[in-house]
Amino acid sequence: MPLRSYGVVTARVVDTRREGGSDDTPHYQIHLADDEGTHYRAAVNVKSAQPPWELLYLAVEDFRHSLIEQLPAAGSGWNALPSEQGGASLDYIRADLVERSRMRPVPPDVEGANNDLADFLDRYVRRAQQDPSACAYVFGEPWGPEEEPDKVFGFEPGNGVHSVHMNQGNSEEYREDDGVWQDGGLLLHFAEEDRWVAVFLAFQSQSWNTDDRTGHALGSGAPQPEQTSAV
C-alpha cells in the first residue's frame, strides 16, 4: 500500500528549526507560506528510526531535469500529484534522478560547522529564506489541516508535509509505505539566478532494486556510496 496521499507544497521559506540528533526521530523543520497566505510545516527526517541511523544525502547545486517543466506554479501551495510517470512526481530510480552511489551517509546533528545533515539543509534553505525571488518545492505526504496550532511554529491551523525522502524499497517495518512515483525531496528555485538546487534523501535500510508496480524491495540493490564531499 503506498502513501495515503502524495504531492508537492510550493511556497516561500519563512523560518527553520533544528531538532537535536539525540532525539528518537529528529527532523529539520521548515516553515513555509504560499501566495494565498496558507502556512505549512515541512518535516524533513535527519535520522533514521532504525539502523543504520544516518540518512543518505545528495545535493545537486545546478539541477536540470525535464520534470521542472511539469511543476505547479511557484507559491501555489499544496498540489496533489498522481503517482505515475510523465508529470512532476518524483521517482529516484525510474526518473533517473539519483544514483545511489553518489549519495553519502551524513550524521543528523553534531558539534561543529558544515558537518551534519542539518547544517547541509541550513545552507540551502536559509539561503532561500533570505532571497525574495526563491521558492521551495517540498515533495511528500501531506497532513492536516489540524484543529490545533502547529506544534513547532505555532501557526493555525497545523498543516504540512512529511516523508520528504525516498518512499520505496523499505524494510519490512515500513513496507506498507512503498510505492512508485511517490518519492519525497526538496527543490529550491532561485529565480533571479534561474538556478535550481535539489536535495535528495534516503535511508540506508532501503533497497534500490524495487518492483515497478509496488515499489517493494527485490533484493538488496544498494551499492556502497562514493566517499565524496556532501557539499
pLDDT of 12 > 70? The answer is yes
Q: What is the predicted pLDDT for the residue at 113?
A: 86
Give the distance, in angstroms, between the CA of residue 148 and the centroid of all CA atoms in the same chain: 24
Return mean pLDDT, the chain.
93
| Unique residue bearing C-alpha cell 512526481 | 89
153-170 per-position pLDDT tens digit:
999 999 999 999 999 999
pLDDT of 230 > 50? The answer is no
Handedness of CA 59, 109, 113, 137 (dihedral sign): positive
58-101 per-position pLDDT tens digit:
999 999 999 999 999 999 999 999 999 999 999 999 999 999 99
Cα–Cα nearest to 136, from 191, 203, 56: 191
**Rounded distance between C-alpha atoms, residue 206 and residue 195, angstroms:** 30
Q: Which residues contact 126 (CB under 8 A, 6 or more apart)?
A: 13, 16
Determine phi and psi for 46, rounding to 5 degrees.
-120, 0
Band (231; pLDDT cuts 50, 70, 90): very low
**Rounded distance between C-alpha atoms, residue 32 and residue 77, angstroms:** 9
**Rounded distance between C-alpha atoms, residue 209 and residue 170, angstroms:** 11
108-126 per-position pLDDT tens digit:
988 888 899 999 999 999 9
Q: In a 10 Å sphere around its CB, with 0-12 CB exposed, 13-18 middle and 19+ buried, how is residue 50 labelled? A: exposed
**Rounded distance between C-alpha atoms, residue 123 and residue 159, angstroms:** 24
pLDDT of 43 > 50? The answer is yes
Determine phi and psi for 25, rounding to 5 degrees.
-135, 70
Instruction: Name the residue ranges covered by the structural domains of the chain.
Output: 7-203
Q: Are 16 and 59 in contact (CB under 8 A)?
A: no
